[in-house]
Structure 1
Amino acid sequence: MFSKKSISTFLQAQVAAFLGGITDYGLMILLTEVFKLHFTFSILISGTIGAIVNFSINRFWVFKNQSGYSSRINSQLFKFALVVLGSISLKSFGTLILQKSFQIDYRIGRLITDSFVSYGFNYPLIKNWVFRAKEKQNVIESN
């Protein structure tokens, strides 16, 4: 059902997401607790930094799309930025809903929201849209 390559890619993508997520989450706590920003603004800033970490790891290790073509990276960056905007929006909104409606601490609400957004939104779009072209190109070239 699943190939070793697809399982390996999924696990590598989870490592990339974890490292980007740790950066994101830690920075969110720092900005909220130390610099007293509202958590929705902290999520915006930390999500952007975490996304840069995640994109870099995905591009150069997970999906190995460092082809050197500037138009290629521009396309990937644009697509990735759209995914990140959606992801940050979903995380901010989800965390806010959990905090306002259910009085769940923003740190816990963020973890709950992240789990849904990461597996249900980020991974499918990053794998099948942002970094998809290289895989299809390799299949075409091998035929």
Structure 2
Amino acid sequence: MFKKKSIFTFLQAQVAAFVGGITDYGLMILLTEVFKLHFTFSILISGTVGAIINFSINRFWVFKNQSGYSSYINSQLFKFALVVLGSISLKSFGTLILQQSFQIDYRIGRLITDSFVSYGFNYPLIKYWVFKVNEKQNAIESN
């Protein structure tokens, strides 16, 4: 049962990442192509919007950490913000490196970079650090 639940949680997290990611990617292209921002700035803005969507879906659907305690929410938001900051930095830098060093179009470079950042950085930190439920939190929420 534990294994089945872990797989289901992983799949739910991928749906959350996909929805946030599609928003992020689409907004990045809009800001770069229509509003002529450099793609690294577009990634900063679109990554922030995508992160808000991703956080909300993860909090209320995937990991169901909906405690009303403001200190708990603030802790999650702070941790999530740090993950997002790292994620946006890695995505911007990785996309830039692929574009400048290998002349890979920024849209393709972004997809390549995203696949590594999402699975190797975002998911583990979000699951095991941001939305990790400890015994103390379980006791508070069950009362």
1:142/1:75 CA distance change after superposition, 3 Å: closer
What's the TM-score once normalised by structure 1's chain length?
Answer: 0.94
Q: Structure 1 residue runs of 4+, over 6 Å off?
A: 139-143
Does structure 1 retain, via aligned residues, the 8 Å contact 2:67–2:141?
no
Q: Within 1, Cα distance between the matches of 2:47 and 2:83? A: 11
Paired residues of 1:65 and 1:134 also in contact (CA < 8 A): no
CA distance in 1, matches of 2:136, 2:123: 18
Identity of aligned residues (%): 92
Give the RMSD, CA atoms, in angstroms. Answer: 2.2
Instruction: Provide the TM-score with structure 2 as the length reference.
Output: 0.94
The count of residues paired between Structure 1 and Structure 2 equals 143
Distance 1:135 1:47, change over 3 A: farther
Inter-partner Cα distance in structure 1 for 2:132 and 2:75: 11
How far has the Cα of 1:141 moved from its partner? 8.9
Output the CA distance in 1 between the equivalents of 2:135 and 2:114.
27
Partner deviation per Cα, 1:112-139 (whole Å, 9 max, x = no partner) = 0000000000000000000002577439
| Distance (Å, rounded) in 2 between the aligned partners of 1:142 and 1:35 | 49
Q: Which blocks of at least 5 consecutive residues in structure 2 are unaligned?
A: none
The answer (yes or no) to whether the contact 1:43–1:92 under 8 Å persists in 2 is yes
